Amino acid sequence: MATRKKSAKAAPNKARVEVRDAAKSQGDAHSGSQHNGTIAPAKGKLGVMIPGMGAVATTFVAGVEAIRKGLAKPIGSLTQMGTVRLGKRTDGRSPKIKEFVPLAGLDDLVFTGWDIFKDNMYEAASHAGVLDQRLLDQLKPFLSSVKPRSAVFDHNYVKKIDGPNVKKGKTKMDLAEQLRDDIRDFKKTSGATRLITMWCGSTESYIEATEAHQSLKSFEKALRENDEMIAPSMIYAYASLMEGVPFANGAPNLTVDLPVMLELSRQNEAPICGKDFKTGQTLMKTVLAPAFKARLLGLSGWYSTNILGNRDGEVLDDPGSFKTKEESKLGVLEHILQPALYPDLYGNIFHKVRINYYPPRGDNKEGWDNIDIFGWLGYPMQIKVDFLCRDSILAAPIVLDLVLFLDLAKRSSELRGLGIQEWLSFYFKSPMSAPGLYPEHDLFIQSMKLKNTLRHLKGESLITHLGLEYYD
Ligand SMILES: NC(=O)c1ccc[n+]([C@@H]2O[C@H](COP(=O)([O-])OP(=O)(O)OC[C@H]3O[C@@H](n4cnc5c(N)ncnc54)[C@H](O)[C@@H]3O)[C@@H](O)[C@H]2O)c1
């Protein structure tokens, strides 16, 4: 068990944590991050529960198994391949992240899932068509053993799909109870010592928070009364958090981004994070926009369009689901560029995002960006980005990292009671943050925040990149 050098009371909210950390950071590497609490060791199996066994989920699970068998490498995963610099640049200490903090090993992961279709993971992965069939055949016995539990689903929230493997219940509370039974059953039958829920289900129709989402009391009343503002993903989130299980949301649905879920998360010490995996186009946006801002280059327009042919693309062809995704994608520029601070540069931006369902491409999305920028004396310039990416190949390592880091958060006495894990913003298009605090979208700030959180947990110096001490 890793113990901390000094003990202090757990910070009541993120904002205060940031202020405290900033005050302690004094150099390229300052000496000693004070910290409190302990991190329990990653002993035993970690159960990964996935609502939505589609392209992303199967690419993740098949990938983990392929890596365990030595058939492939975990490219794109920070927890598996990343390092963290410790101390001064001259110290030469850059351990692998998985050796620096106690993370679950890949061999300890066990899986279950829920889906409206009855396909097991082998069949679902073959249907998704992301991974080579020859690779899937090598993994067939394992993938076939992961079968979907019946889902909590309502066609009204995902208009483009329907399926037979769905739970029945008089009220949404009954459905939540059935999910809680599933969770307990999986824990028992798998022998897992810890669990994580990772939403990889379809994007649901756009919903705004209402009275029903404001407190545990009003949410439970709404569950019993079948309130239509409670979407299926919220029922999974409620069931998980009630069982004390951390929940990550890979889709743009509100799901855990609600006052009731924050309350439940803190009360039951089940960390939450979301929303919407930052994979292709938005990843590029959160790299380029910070560069324009750093160099004070103006922006007049950013037109983003995509063609996508997988089931996710089909679901997003429905205006209700697209609106949820659009909201998630649009917030990025506003938060990075801060037009109120820089009205001459970013006060009048035309930002448009389109997603077009185009079956021939399958999971291989093509995302185009036309960016109109302006420089010295207002002279215009253009940048074109054409990213021929693979959606689920980009998403799978994110899922792995979130699973392992959320489990770390649950085992950390300092992180587990905080609710939102803002240090995991790095992985999301629309990161959750404390009420009243604007989210950080800049990929490099997110990366620094994540690594400094790991240093902080282990009592290592935070790194500020000041570095004056090298020139004393
Ligand atoms: N792949 C990416 O790059 C990426 C990036 C950001 C977000 N996402 C989001 O991740 C999610 C998964 O993407 P995907 O490509 O795997 O989609 P997919 O359509 O292949 O898989 C989603 C699965 O969820 C199931 N499902 C829907 N509602 C459910 C419910 N209530 N309970 C259980 N199962 C349910 C569907 O039947 C389907 O099998 C989507 O919401 C997508 O928008 C994906």
In whole angstroms, give the CA distance from residue 452 to residue 17.
12
Instruction: Report the nearest atom of ligand 1 relative to the CA of 316.
Output: 43
User: What was the pLDDT predicted at 23?
Assistant: 38
Closest to 21 measured CA to CA, from 431, 463, 410, 470: 463
Confidence of residue 464 (pLDDT cuts 50, 70, 90): confident
Mean pLDDT on 56-68:
98
Exposed, middle or buried: residue 306 (CB in 10 Å: 0-12, 13-18, 19+)?
buried
Of 51-55, 133-137, 423-427, 467-471, least confident by mean pLDDT is 467-471
CB 171 within 8 A of CB 136: no
Which residue owns the Cα nearest ligand 1 atom 25? 52
- Cα(365) to centroid(ligand 1), Å: 15
Which residues, in sequence order, are CB contacts of 468 under 8 Å at separation 6+?
27, 28
Which residue owns the Cα nearest ligand 1 atom 39? 54
Check pLDDT > 90 for residue 79: yes
Which residue owns the Cα nearest ligand 1 atom 21? 54
- For 196, the enclosing helix (H) or strand (E) is strand 192-199
User: What was the pLDDT predicted at 414?
Assistant: 95
Mean pLDDT on 118-142:
97
User: What was the pLDDT predicted at 30?
Assistant: 53
Percent of the chain exceeding pLDDT 90 equals 78
179 lines ligand 1 (CB under 6 A): no
Which of 146, 158, 200 to probe ligand 1 with, by most ligand atoms within 8 A of CB?
A: 200
User: What was the pLDDT predicted at 331?
Assistant: 79
Q: Measured between alpha carbons, how far is residue 55 from residues 109, 201, 394 in Å?
A: 19, 10, 11
Cβ neighbours around 376 below 10 Å, total: 7
Check pLDDT > 80 for residue 112: yes
Q: What is the pLDDT of residues 159-203, one digit of tens each?
A: 888 899 999 999 999 999 999 999 999 999 999 999 999 999 999
Q: What is the pLDDT of residues 304-317, one digit of tens each?
A: 999 988 887 888 77
- Cα(203) to centroid(ligand 1), Å: 6
User: What was the pLDDT predicted at 2?
Assistant: 37
In whole angstroms, give the CA distance from residue 403 to residue 387.
27
247 lines ligand 1 (CB under 6 A): no
203 lines ligand 1 (CB under 6 A): yes
In whole angstroms, give the CA distance from residue 374 to residue 384.
14
Which of 118, 202, 282 to probe ligand 1 with, by most ligand atoms within 8 A of CB?
A: 202
Q: What is the pLDDT of residues 440-459, one digit of tens each?
A: 999 999 999 999 999 999 99
Read off the pTM. Answer: 0.92
Of 94-98, 119-123, 147-151, 354-358, least confident by mean pLDDT is 354-358
- Cα(450) to centroid(ligand 1), Å: 26
Check pLDDT > 80 for residue 36: no
User: What was the pLDDT predicted at 34?
Assistant: 56
Instruction: Report the nearest atom of ligand 1 relative to the CA of 56.
Output: 16
CB 440 within 8 A of CB 446: yes
Instruction: Report the nearest atom of ligand 1 relative to the CA of 277.
Output: 6
In whole angstroms, give the CA distance from residue 47 to residue 187.
7
158 lines ligand 1 (CB under 6 A): yes
- Cα(58) to centroid(ligand 1), Å: 11
446 lines ligand 1 (CB under 6 A): no
Instruction: Report the nearest atom of ligand 1 relative to the CA of 391.
Output: 3
281 lines ligand 1 (CB under 6 A): no
321 lines ligand 1 (CB under 6 A): no
Confidence of residue 267 (pLDDT cuts 50, 70, 90): very high
Confidence of residue 150 (pLDDT cuts 50, 70, 90): very high
236 lines ligand 1 (CB under 6 A): no
Confidence of residue 325 (pLDDT cuts 50, 70, 90): confident
Instruction: Report the nearest atom of ligand 1 relative to the CA of 58.
Output: 16
Which residue owns the Cα nearest ligand 1 atom 2? 391
In whole angstroms, give the CA distance from residue 181 to residue 260.
21
Check pLDDT > 60 for residue 25: no
- Cα(312) to centroid(ligand 1), Å: 6
Mean pLDDT on 64-77:
98
Closest to 197 measured CA to CA, from 264, 245, 146: 245
- Cα(468) to centroid(ligand 1), Å: 48
365 lines ligand 1 (CB under 6 A): no
User: What was the pLDDT predicted at 27?
Assistant: 47
